[in-house]
Amino acid sequence: MNSEHSSDPGTRFVWRSVDRADAPKRAVAERVADFLEVYSDLDEATAREQAARCVQCPNPNCVTDCPMANRIPEWLALTAEGHFLEAAELLILGSSMPEIFCRICTPERQCEANCILGGPSEPVPIGAIERFLQEYALQRGVLGVTPPPPNGYRVAVVGSGPGGLICAEDLVRLGYAVTVFEASSVPGGLLISGLPAFKLPKAVVERRVELMRKRGVEFRLGVRVGVDVSLAGLRREFDAVFLAIGARQARPLPIPGGDLRGVHQAVLFIIQKSAASPGDVPLIDAQGKRVVVLGGGDTALDCLRTAIRCGAREARCLYRRDEANLPATRKHYQNAREEGARFDFQVQAVAVAGDATGQVTHVRCLRVAMGEPDADGRNAPVPVPGSEFDVSADLVLVAYGFDRAPCPPGSDFGELARVATGELQLDQKQMTSFPGVFAGGDLVHGPGHLVDTVRDARKAAKAIHAYLAGLDRAG
């Protein structure tokens, strides 16, 4: 790192003369006409220039707050020098599937949120540079896929969502024979079925899965663990097991009218528009309809933006708190507004009403004021008496989050020890009450944030490696 960016002390102040540049974004009129990705890659010159804005902190908060503890300043320095392949190699050493997670993680809440430049200027666009590096390397075919020598151990990973894929990739790098079990006919979990293609193209996930196959990961699809395969069976066939099941089910609508025609769970709408086959349920059609989305998280925004692309007459979000308390990712919120979504803040839905045929016609609402902070630290909504009003709707999508899904009835998964709230009980090494069976994500934290899933998966991979190394020594 002896280029001008690393040797000249003046380059520590590049941020003063170079403004932040984010990844290029397609024009609104163009992107709402299809489901293609909204963002594209930085060009080489911009990537170098933006990486040079990093001041190379001695104690970088961006690393501390990255769920993968990525060596961010180091590969930023290499990028600033134009050593893109070396930077990509360093990035890959400290990360799993970076081309996927740079698209779906929230750097404005993790690494970029804690960039020291966030005060005097704008943070370094770490996510955009990460994406540039990975695509640069992938397009040149320089990411080796030759698996390391096998170490003789076999590990089962249950679930091919983010946590399962991360753990599987970390383990196969260490020489383990990894088999991933997936109930669906397509690997990827929510990366495939739970996210719109304009946020994460399916081809990106498919490319990563193919790379994993070339590295030796086996995928057994259409297998329901707990139904088709027992936990005891996995323990007999494999030396260790990692449970990465997306154990979540959509919360029901807690107000009257949930049984009307035209009222659906938001996640079902997203799955239908994301999957190659919509399944065996009636198609949810938004064409020409007034779509009302209840909730304010990223799933709600995905529904709004998907409805617009499906030709909705109107896409309107009703959220009970104010704009400052909206839990959705800020860039997705801004994109939704640009694309024509409407937002009604401090509005509480109290009932869904319909006509004589049982078809939804409107949502009954009332205004709320922001009260004192609740247990989550956010201001609690307080109903305003006499403020009732109606919002016309032909299609209502419920995005109120998720609850923990129960174990398959009669499954030996029910024998795993649990905490009082129902999540799996783990020791400090991510292991359940069954020796050799590890877990993470929804099963441990309940439906939550991607950052928890990522940390759990990486921690579990290290713990499995240590556990099996201990068995080898004991033997």
Q: Which residue has the higher pLDDT, 43 or 140?
A: 43
Rounded distance between C-alpha atoms, residue 389 and residue 209, angstroms = 49
Its sign, for the CA torsion 292, 298, 299, 305, is positive
Tell me the mean pLDDT in the region 101-109. 85
CA distance 92 to 182: 25
Cβ neighbours for 439, distance < 8 A, ≥ 6 positions apart: 242, 243, 244, 424, 426, 430, 432, 456, 460
Tokens of 266: 């938001």
Over residues 384-395, mean pLDDT: 97
What's the number of CA atoms in the CB half-sphere (13 Å) around residue 107?
23
**pLDDT tens digits for 263-312?**
999 999 998 887 655 556 678 999 999 999 999 999 999 999 999 999 99
Name which of 205, 204, 200 is nearest 182 in CA terms: 205
Domains defined for the chain, CATH in brackets: 4-139 (1.10.1060.10), 154-248+403-474 (3.50.50.60), 252-400 (3.50.50.60)
- Residue (of 440, 445, 413, 442) closest to 429 by Cα position: 440
Q: Up-side HSE of residue 172: CA atoms within 13 Å toward CB? A: 26
pLDDT tens digits, one per residue of 109-158:
889 998 999 888 899 999 999 999 999 998 887 766 677 899 999 999 99
User: Which of 255-259, 274-278, 338-342 is predicted least confidently?
Assistant: 274-278
pLDDT at 144: 62
